[in-house]
Structure 1
Amino acid sequence: MTATDTIKAYFDAFNAKDTEAMLELLAPDIAHHVNEGQIRSGKTKFAEFCAHMSHCYDEHLTDMVIFEAEGGTRAAAEFTVNGTYLRTDAGLPEAKGQTYRLPAGSFFSLEGGKITRVVTYYNLADWIRQVS
């Protein structure tokens, strides 16, 4: 499986809301760099983050473009996040079922066919404007 195949499978699992399938693609010591947040290490922390996000947000990614660096150890993706804000997340505006649409991107490191690092970026100020 190429890096592009792995990243495509990761995002396909995300869109299918299949956290277990996402976890299968991750290295045990995954470093998850969350936008505006702390680095979470390991699959357990990643799964906890996914559970929290699923509780507060319903998101589907579209307009996916995946880039792979020569050698297959790094990749990136650009996409659009289409979401609904379901439940109020601590420190953020009150959730009332607002919808939002944001450009976003992720960067990946891969080793031995597994994702070892995920970094995701989006414009938080734009999201806040859309849900406020």
Structure 2
Amino acid sequence: MTRAEAMALIGRYYAAFNAGDAAGMLDCVAEDVEHRVNEGGIRRGRAKFAEFCSHMGVSYREELKDMVIFASDDGARGAAEFVVHGEYLQTDPGLPEAKGQRYILPAGGFFELRDGKIARVTTFYNLNDWIAQVSA
């Protein structure tokens, strides 16, 4: 995979995210995708990733803005930096109560790419910042 192909794949993944298109996101990931989310466990496989996408679609409405995508020369690794503009819709267990709070949160993602698909995605954001925003 070239750098341009890697950047295009990451771009398609996040465009699907912004469109609320879980099927489009799933189309970008490998069958054995490893999903590492900030402050959470590791989900392995498309089925677990699909469950996560479904949950997120119910609990949060988010749009990623100011996206900057990077990729290694060989297209095997990539990253993206962005700002999450969101609304907390349904309470997540162990987190503050959802009341439609809005938040703006810098975040990023790191990728391993293989055979034209995303093999690993790791997402980072400041959970304490998010909690402070939705608790205010």
The TM-score normalised by the length of structure 1 is 0.99
Is residue 2:102 matched to residue 1:87? no
Which 4+ runs in 1 deviate beyond 6 A?
Answer: none
| 2:64 alignment partner in structure 1 | 61
Alpha-carbon offset, residue 110 of structure 1 = 0.4
5 Å-filtered alignment, 1:1-132, equals: 2-132=5-135
Q: What is the rounded CA distance, in whole Å, between the counterparts of 2:121 and 2:87 in structure 1?
A: 23
- Report the aligned-residue RMSD: 0.7
The letter for the 2-side match of 1:105 is G
Q: What is the rounded CA distance, in whole Å, between the counterparts of 2:54 and 2:22 in structure 1?
A: 8
- Structure 1: unaligned runs, 5 residues or longer: none
Q: What is the rounded CA distance, in whole Å, between the counterparts of 1:129 and 1:25 in structure 2?
A: 33
Q: What is the rounded CA distance, in whole Å, between the counterparts of 1:22 and 1:95 in structure 2?
A: 25
Q: What is the rounded CA distance, in whole Å, between the counterparts of 2:79 and 2:37 in structure 1?
A: 15
Alpha-carbon offset, residue 104 of structure 1 = 0.1
Q: What is the rounded CA distance, in whole Å, between the counterparts of 1:18 and 1:88 in structure 2?
A: 22
Q: What is the rounded CA distance, in whole Å, between the counterparts of 1:97 and 1:41 in structure 2?
A: 30
Alpha-carbon offset, residue 70 of structure 1 = 1.2
Q: What is the rounded CA distance, in whole Å, between the counterparts of 2:11 and 2:103 in structure 1?
A: 23
- Structure 2: unaligned runs, 5 residues or longer: none
Q: Secondary structure at the match of 1:9?
A: helix
Q: Secondary structure at the match of 2:108?
A: strand
